[in-house]
Chain A
Amino acid sequence: DQQVKQNSPSLSVQEGRISILNCDYTNSMFDYFLWYKKYPAEGPTFLISISSIKDKNEDGRFTVFLNKSAKHLSLHIVPSQPGDSAVYFCAANSNSGYALNFGKGTSLLVTP
Chain B
Amino acid sequence: SQTIHQWPATLVQPVGSPLSLECTVEGTSNPNLYWYRQAAGRGLQLLFYSVGIGQISSEVPQNLSASRPQDRQFILSSKKLLLSDSGFYLCAWSSGGEQYFGPGTRLTVT
A residues touching B (Cβ–Cβ < 8 Å)?
A: 2, 4, 32, 34, 36, 41-46, 49, 51, 89, 91, 93, 98-100, 102-105
Contacts and interface: CB of A to CB of B under 8 A. Distances in A.
Interface residues of B, number: 25
Given A43-B103, A43-B104, A46-B101, 6 more contacts: A34-B98, A51-B97, A91-B44, A98-B57, A104-B41, A104-B43
Given A34-B98, A49-B97, A44 B43 contact: no
B101 A45 contact: yes
B90 interface: yes
Interface in B56-106: 57, 59, 88, 90, 92, 97-104, 106
Contact of B100 (A2, A46, A89): A46
Contacts of B90: 43-44
Contacts of B100: 46
A44 B46 contact: no
B32 A98 contact: yes
Which of B98, B102, B103 has the most chain A CB atoms inside 10 A of its CB?
Answer: B98
Given A32-B97, A43-B90, A43-B101, A98 B51 contact: yes
B102 A43 contact: yes
B42 A104 contact: yes
A100 B43 contact: no
12 contacts: A4-B43, A32-B97, A41-B88, A43-B102, A43-B104, A44-B44, A98-B32, A98-B34, A99-B59, A102-B43, A102-B45, A105-B43
